[in-house]
Chains A and B, each alone.
Chain A
Amino acid sequence: MTTVSSTTEADTRSLMWRRWVQRHGWTVGIWLILLVLVVWYSTLIPRFGGFQASTIIAGGTAWVFLGVAQAVVVISGGLDLGVGGMLVLSSVTAARFMDGQPIGVVILIGFTIMVAAAILNGFVGWIIAVSKIPDIVVTLGSLFIYQGLALMVLPKVGGGTSETFRWLFTGSGTGIGSNPWPTVVIIFIPVVIVAWWLGKTKSGLSLYAVGSDTTAAYLSGVRDVRTKIIAFAVAGVFGALAGFSSVSISGVGNPTTDGGVLTLNSVAAIVLGGVVLTGGVGSVIAVVPAAMILFFFNPILSALGVDPNRAQVIQGVLIVLVMMVAGLLEWRRIRRR
């Protein structure tokens, strides 16, 4: 992000265009890929209507939220292996306390869980910032702790939530419906808020500053400890939202879900979304379609008649190929500089 003073207006315009492509090219590209996949999928299956759209969007919601949670932390130069554990912990907490409650109480419980998740994960961020232990180690610990806490809250599969709450995340009181719009809204409100916060506010931009160069950010007056806490707190909130989505789909909480696998999905999603793992680069707007694409692989491959095991192999190979291409592009950009 260098400031360049140009002589002529035409130069400026072409430079601005180049910078726009450099900044947003990946975001636009990944949305286009999602669009192409959706169109292709709709030709593969006999009927593509509200039901299919709703199933895919609702199923991908948790992936999107976890991807955004991971993106916020990685942009700030960290890594949170605990986000999957946070999904499990918040989903079982929701399932245990929301069961049989009226919608007003359910919403109140939902907000309480989000605040608690922010405090808990913010505390993890504080430990990392103060102790200077690598993120991956501390959050490996927090992943274990969240999974253990989840088992304490709800020892075995059970609990439930209100139908209205399930409607919010799935468009149906039973978790399977044909109205995708409530889910679309519930994804976009928090994502747009976070995108605005990251791009337009001082505290949001400080995440990019710390992520690209912690020392430089510190020397120019960005408070690095506070930034780390905020990044992890936001990740906690999105982990909780992912948990709500999961409990809304299944209708119960499952404490034995493997949070580690979910975390790995979130890392794959942000990488596909163009967030650079070394920090300071990326946009949550591109993480949304990337997470959806990763989730979307399975329905597409099963529509193609590919056996699920083969589908998993193809998914792994595709992720590696995407990374190779991304690495090649990055290498070319460095060379050109």
Chain B
Amino acid sequence: MSDTPTVLAGQAADPTPKKLSLARRLATRPQIALLGVLMLLILATGIVEPAYLSVAGLRNSLIWAIPIGILAAGQTILMLTGGIDLSIAMIATASAYVTANQSVNGTVFAIVAGLAVGFIAGSANGIGVGVFRVNPLIMTMAMAGILLGLFSGWATTIFAGSTQMSDFMRTLGGRNFFGGRIPWAALVWAVVAVGIIFLLRKTGFGRNLYAIGDNAVAARLSGIRVWQVLIAAYAMSGVLGSVAGLLVGGRVGAVDLQLVGFLLLPSVAAAVIGGTSIFGGVGTYTGTILGALILGVLQSLLTFLGAGQAVQQVLYGSIIIGLSWMYSRLSAAQ
């Protein structure tokens, strides 16, 4: 961005503050509303089941929200550029598979190998989308199919050994600290969250993501190397998928090829509920965090209501539509 002509920067400087404050108002207000929804949901769950309003009860919701939130971090980054990652759950599963399989070779090597899966698959997505202009939906969907095919074959050949996670990963994914109150995985999520929020708000890379999603042509003309940013964004999404996959794998203990698949659509939903626009250029990770927490509490509420899978899915779908409708009304009202 540094080589942008100063004349342009001077011209842009005038309308910028006004626009920014408006954009900030747009972005902050619905988040307060989301926080309200979250509180109401927690209260409602507490009324249905008083025991929920305890450390253990809330922790159950948090445990649900953690992998969704980390996967949704990848979705948020990509949705800001106008993309999406439909392969992220399969990347997560594949990473967990590799880590479990390599756990005999030492925990550090196993984790690095798992994260490498996400980096490689994510970079391949990025090259397809950024360099060859393949539609992100198609590119990542095809990647999910390719990974499923590869790992179904490899499960009986080169990765035929262990499907058990190491003790360290089980601790990180499924156990708690601080007197059994806080899951270790929450700590991982906190680190990821701080990193992503810093990246989106304070770095040039973050601004480039917004710029590309807002207007890719304008971004290119103002000197952003769009394809490089996209490859980096998809690679990041892949690595975030790996992190989520390792945590889920650690919690479950053993891995199979259906490990994380059920979290794909919730990860998109969390970003959308949090106010990230699927068309790019608009959204924050704080919103996505709230979206993931709402989905986590909702899961507890539906469990306590004794709702079967059928009712759960109908309510889940209705709430995605309802919340995004509310969000769009709030944004439009500004």
Interface residues of A (CB under 8 A from B): 127, 131-134, 136-138, 140-152, 155, 260, 264, 267-268, 271, 277, 307-317, 319-320, 323-324, 327, 331
For the complex formed, measure the closest distance between the CB of A326 and the CB atoms of chain B, giving whole angstroms.
Answer: 9
Can you name 25 A-B pairs with beta carbons within 8 Å? A132-B328, A134-B277, A137-B321, A140-B268, A140-B272, A141-B324, A142-B321, A144-B316, A144-B317, A148-B311, A151-B308, A151-B313, A264-B141, A277-B135, A308-B152, A310-B149, A312-B145, A312-B149, A313-B150, A316-B149, A319-B138, A320-B128, A320-B138, A323-B128, A327-B134
A133 near B313 (CB under 8 angstroms)? no
Q: Is the CB of A148 within 8 A of B146?
A: no
Contact A143-B317, Cβ < 8 Å, known A134-B277, A134-B279, A310-B153: yes
Task: Quote the shortest CB–CB distance from A56 to chain B (angstroms).
Answer: 20
Bound together, the chains give a CA A264 to CA B141 distance in angstroms of 7
Whether B325 contacts A133 by the Cβ 8 Å rule is yes
B139 on the A face (CB < 8 A): yes
A320 to B152, CA, bound (A): 20
Q: Which residue of B lies closest to A263 (CB)?
A: B141
Give A331 Cβ to nearest chain B Cβ, in Å.
Answer: 7
> Do B279 and A143 have beta carbons less than 8 Å apart?
no
Complex formed: what's the CA distance from A331 to B143 in Å? 23
**Separation of A269 and B312 alpha carbons in the complex (Å):** 31
With a cutoff of 8 Å between Cβ atoms, the chain A residues found around residue B317 in the complex are 140-146, 148
User: In the complex, are the beta carbons of A309 and B138 less than 8 A apart?
Assistant: no
What are the residues of chain B within 8 A of A314 when measuring CB–CB?
Answer: 149
B309 at the interface (CB under 8 A from A): yes
Quick check: A320 and B134 within 8 Å, CB to CB?
A: yes
A residues in contact with B144, CB < 8 Å: 316
Instruction: Choose from B148, B311, B312, B320 the contact partner of A137 (Cβ within 8 Å).
Output: B320
- Chain B, Cβ-Cβ closest to A132: B328
What's the minimum C-beta distance from A294 to chain B, rounded to whole angstroms? 11
CB <8 Å contact, B265 and A133:
no
Q: Which residues of B contact A142 (CB under 8 A)?
A: 317, 321
Check A136 against B278 for contact (C-beta < 8 Å): yes
B138 with A144: CB separation less than 8 A: no
Q: Note all chain B residues with C-beta closer than 8 A to A313.
A: 145-146, 149-150, 153
CA distance A79 to B128 in the complex (A): 21
9 new A-B contacts, CB < 8 A, other than A131-B325, A137-B278, A151-B310, are A137-B321, A138-B321, A140-B269, A141-B319, A308-B152, A313-B145, A313-B153, A315-B149, A320-B128
Interface residue tally on B, bucketed by range: 35 or more
Chain B residues closer than 8 Å to A260, beta-carbon distance: 264-265
Q: Given the interface contacts A277-B137, A323-B138, does A133 sit within 8 Å of B149 by beta carbon?
A: no
- Checking A137, A145, A148, A316 against B272 with a beta-carbon cut-off of 8 angstroms, the contacting residue is A137
Is the CB–CB distance between B152 and A323 below 8 Å? no
With A132-B328, A267-B137, A319-B142 known to touch, is A140 a contact of B313 (CB < 8 Å)? no
Task: Tell me the smallest distance from the CB of B123 to a CB of chain A, in Å.
Answer: 14
Across-interface contacts of A317 in B (CB, < 8 A): 142, 146
**Given the complex, which residues of B lie within 8 Å of A138, measured CB to CB?**
321, 324
Asked if A307 contacts B153 (CB within 8 A), the reply is yes
List the A side residues contacting B86 at CB < 8 Å.
264
Residues of B within 8 A of A320 (CB): 128, 134, 138-139, 142
Chain A contacts of B311 at CB under 8 A? 148, 152
Tell me if B201 counts as interface (CB < 8 A to partner A). no
Set of chain B residues within 8 Å of A143, measured between Cβ atoms: 265, 317
With a CB–CB cut-off of 8 A, which chain A residues contact B318?
141, 145
Judge whether B133 is part of the interface by a CB distance below 8 angstroms: yes
CB distance from A276 to the nearest CB of B (A): 9
